[in-house]
Amino acid sequence: MISAKLDNRRIKAILLQKNVYRVDENTYAVKSASGKATYLVQREGFNWSCQCPDFRIRGTVCKHIQAVLLTQTLKAEQNFTVYESEESEEECSSELVCPKCGSPELVKRGMRKTKNGEVQRLGCKSCGHRFVVNAGFERMKATPQAVTVSLDLFFKGISTRKIVDHLLQFYGMEVSHVAVLKWIRKYSKMIKEYVREFQPKTSGVWHTDEMTLNIKGEMKWLWNCMDHNTRFLLASQISAKREVADAQLVFAIAKMTSGEEKPDYMITDGLQSYGKAFNKEFFTLKNPRAQHIRLPSIREHPNNNMVERLNGTVRERTKTMRGLDNEKTAFVDGFQNYYNFIRPHMGLEGKTPAEVSGIKMNLQGNRWKAIIDKASKNKVVP
């Protein structure tokens, strides 16, 4: 068993140059201070050995063994990152390609230490370029966990100022409510751009309804269009009025989301704008099958209770807000992302509308972080 006083100056010179690499659990590669040689340091039980002349000739605990011991101590204290050996390459099964040459032949090349923790470094076999995957949280002062917790709490109805208090109590983080709003805007936009590529399988029965929304003290209209079986929110749009053009825009967005499919039945309330908008957007002589069911009363059957319950969920969320800041707020897009991809639905046996509609994203654990990772999977930083 080795027990020796560490030569801190010489060891730190090695550590600061990141010359300690882990090959496996019991083997390390340590470059010399000059960088001209590399020695393997190995452990057998409690005994360490090194290939350097100092150990082989004198049998003493050399500076390379001491460097490994100190590295393990610092690693246990979470103040130091042990870098994987370049010689221990693991194939990367990701769909990523090298940002420099476009080659898909990538291997894992150790870890990179950042403010948010360790991230996987990748290397290109073709050109030798190294890079790390942009997981969507680069150059963020807050940790991914704090950001995703804030997003989840916000869309569950917690005010931004209460979120700030939560972060301070449980994470020891001092952030402003303005920072939380910036996170919401940034990631709502990122996720929206990503999920556009997915097309849900709809049931053919759609529900559309409108509700009032307070924006900077003025009452606007929020339109929601939802599929019946999957509860997938096909369109969510804000307008100043309730005219034909406004209703038609909602129908057009819903049709685009579903992959240009038309519903067999569109159920709405008695608003006159719906009839003309429906005929302009869906009715054609070649395909007249789409039918508009306009309900004169909420007691009529079929009813529009499904989308009415959605409107209630939105009202529950917005009651903690003093009105949205502007019409381009990320709330609408963010809530649509949350409702479709994050929030399990009791009426769908605990599944999300995306899962029921055939969109398989496999969001496990922290679903916010998982979808942000996927949204930024093709973005890399050097």
pLDDT in tens, 237-250: 999 999 999 999 99
φ, ψ of residue 152 in degrees (nearest 5): -65, -45
Question: Are 171 and 146 within 8 A, CB to CB?
Answer: yes
d(CA 78, CA 71): 10
Q: What is the pLDDT of residues 27-40, one digit of tens each?
A: 888 877 776 777 88
Q: What is the pLDDT of residues 310-320, one digit of tens each?
A: 888 888 777 76
d(CA 379, CA 192): 16
Q: What is the pLDDT of residue 331?
A: 84
Q: What is the pLDDT of residue 325?
A: 61
Residue spans per domain, the chain: 8-84, 90-133, 205-328
> pLDDT-based confidence at 80, cuts 50/70/90?
very low
- pLDDT at 2 exceeding the cut of 50: no
Q: Is the peptide bond before 302 cis (omega within 30 degrees of 0)?
A: yes
Q: What is the pLDDT of residue 85?
A: 45
Q: What is the pLDDT of residues 181-234, one digit of tens each?
A: 999 999 999 999 899 889 999 998 999 999 988 877 788 899 999 999 999 999
Q: What is the pLDDT of residues 319-335, one digit of tens each?
A: 766 655 654 567 888 99
d(CA 342, CA 189): 15
Q: Which residue in 201, 207, 228, 233 sits closest to 338, CA to CA?
A: 233
Q: What is the pLDDT of residue 165?
A: 96
Q: What is the pLDDT of residue 31?
A: 79
Q: What is the pLDDT of residue 143?
A: 83
Which listed CATH number (2.20.25.10, 2.60.120.260, 3.30.1330.60, 3.40.1710.10) goes with 90-133?
Answer: 2.20.25.10
- pLDDT at 120 exceeding the cut of 50: yes
Find tokens 């009032």 and name the residue: 212
What percent of the chain has a predicted confidence (pLDDT) above 90? 30
Q: Which residue in 315, 339, 345 sits closest to 234, CA to CA?
A: 339
| Sequential DSSP letters for 231-278 | --EEEEEEESS-SHHHHHHHHHHHHHHTTS---SEEEE-S-HHHHHHH
Q: Which superfamily is assigned to 205-328 in CATH? A: Ribonuclease H-like superfamily/Ribonuclease H (3.30.420.10)
Average pLDDT over residues 255-276: 90
d(CA 176, CA 160): 9
Task: Count each helix (H run) and each strand (E run) in the chain, helices first.
Answer: 12, 15
Q: Which residue in 333, 328, 316, 327 sits closest to 219, CA to CA?
A: 327
Calculate the average pLDDT of the chain: 80
Residue of higher predicted confidence among 33 and 342: 342
